[in-house]
Amino acid sequence: MTSSAIPFRSVAAALAAVTLLAAVPARADRGALSLDAGAGLVVASLNPPVGSGPAQSGVLYEGRLGLRYAVSNLLEVYLGGYYDMQAPWSYSGDVVPVAGSAPLTGTLQSQMAGWGAEGGARRCAGPALRLCLTAGRGAAMRLSSRMDLLNPNAAGGPASYGAGVVPGSITSFGPMAEVGAGFEWLVTDHQTVALTPLVRAVGGTGGGVYLVLPVTWSYSWYGF
C-alpha cells in the first residue's frame, strides 16, 4: 500500500513565513474574531483504500467553516474544518490480496467522501486588497463506500469479481497538513471575500494530495 508523505518540514517553514510577512502594513486588528464560511472545487490525487496500485485523480466539491482570532495586528490563529462531498472514484490497476489464492488485479470502484479539522496561523498584508498566507495541521477522515473490484478483461466487458473480494466500505484516518496563498478583498469594515488556493497532503490509508480552490466569505467582530 502506498501513502502520501506529509511535508511537515515544509508546513513548519510555511508557518514561519506567515509570521515573517510583516514588512507590508497589515490590517489584522488585534482582538478581532472572524467567522469564515466557504466552498469550492477540489482536484485530488488519491491512493486506493484497498490493495496497492497507482494514485488516481478526480474532482470533489468542498465546504469549509472556521473561526479566526487576531492575536496581534500581524498574526491570526484559526480553527476550522472541511467536508468533501461524496463523489465516485475509480482506481485502475489495483492489486488486491485474496486469502488462499493469488492476488486479483482490477479496477476498484467506490464512492469517496472526507472530513477534516485543523488549526494554524494566517498572515495578511495590505489595505483593501490583501495578500494572505496560511498554514495549518490537523487530522482527516475518509469514507470509501460501495466498493467493488471489477475484472476489466471479463468476457462481455468489465464485471465484478464478486462479493467479499473487497469490503463494502472503509473509514480511514490520517494526519493532514495544508498551506495556501491568495488574496482577500475588504468589502465592508466587517466583511471580506477571499480566494486562497490551498495544497493539502493527507497521510494514512487512501491518502493523497489535494489542490483546493475555495471562495470564502468572512464576518469580523472587533474588540475581543
Per the domain annotation, does 152 fall within a domain?
A: yes
Range of the domain at 166: 8-15+34-111+138-216
Q: Concatenated DSSP letters for 171-213?
A: EEEEEEEEEEEEEEEE-SSSEEEEE--EEEEE-STT-EEEEEE
DSSP 8-state secondary structure symbol assigned to residue 51: S
CB 78 within 8 A of CB 66: yes
Q: How many domains does the chain have?
A: 1
Per the domain annotation, does 223 fall within a domain?
A: no
Per the domain annotation, does 125 fall within a domain?
A: no
Q: Give percent above pLDDT 90 in the chain.
A: 71
pTM score over 0.85: no
Per the domain annotation, does 119 fall within a domain?
A: no
Identify the residue whose cell numbers are 495549518.
Answer: 136
Per the domain annotation, does 72 fall within a domain?
A: yes
Res 74: pLDDT: 84
Res 186: pLDDT: 92
Q: What is the mean pLDDT of the chain?
A: 88
Per the domain annotation, does 222 fall within a domain?
A: no
Res 73: pLDDT: 84
As a whole number of angstroms, the distance between CA 147 and CA 166 comes to 7
Res 22: pLDDT: 40
Per the domain annotation, does 123 fall within a domain?
A: no
Distances (CA, A) of 108 to 2, 100, 102: 15, 20, 17
Of the candidate ranges 26-40, 101-115, 204-218, the one whose mean pLDDT is the lowest: 26-40
